[in-house]
């Protein structure tokens, strides 16, 4: 009997989470797109300024939790969002195995990498460090 209740409660919780995710409105403009090699090169790899690349997906709850933080940082730094469902080759190239994955690039190199929900202060410190050239 207890096992049946656990399964039912688990199913209900899953439905609530999925329902919340489908109602979620992103704090960011819809700037996720499929990148051509040329666009990726010009927007990320050729940048001498740090670029925060946010690898995520529409169905990813933790990715949506990062939206307000990413939106705040995007006011001061260059931010690119990459949907891993639309950019599977790019995600594979950078060995993205779980999302959200946040990579900071400078001069075509990854200078910092974060996986999972990450606080704004950690991301800001890494971006400032990359900006100062340390």
Give the residue numbers marked as catalytic.
60, 63
HEC per residue, the chain: CHHHHHHHHHHHHHHHHHHHHHHCCCCCCCCCCCCCHHHHHHHHHCCCCCEEEEEECCCCHHHHHHHHHHHHHHCCCEEEEEECCCCHHHHHHCCCCCCCEEEEEECCEEEEEEECCCCHHHHHHHHHHHHHCC
């Amino acid at each position: 009997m207890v096992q049946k209740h656990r399964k039912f409660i688990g199913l209900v919780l899953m439905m609530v989470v999925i329902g919340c995710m489908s109602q979620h409105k992103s704090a960011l403009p819809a700037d996720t797109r499929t990148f051509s090699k040329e666009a990726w090169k010009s927007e990320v790899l050729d940048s001498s300024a740090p670029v925060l690349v946010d690898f995520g997906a529409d169905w990813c709850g933790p990715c949506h939790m990062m939206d307000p933080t990413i939106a705040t940082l995007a006011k001061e730094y260059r931010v690119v969002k990459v949907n891993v469902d639309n950019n599977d080759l790019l995600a594979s190239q950078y060995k993205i195995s779980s999302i959200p994955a946040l990579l900071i690039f400078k001069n075509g190199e990854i200078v910092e990498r974060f996986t999972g929900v990450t606080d704004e202060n950690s991301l800001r410190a890494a971006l400032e460090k990359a900006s100062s050239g340390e």
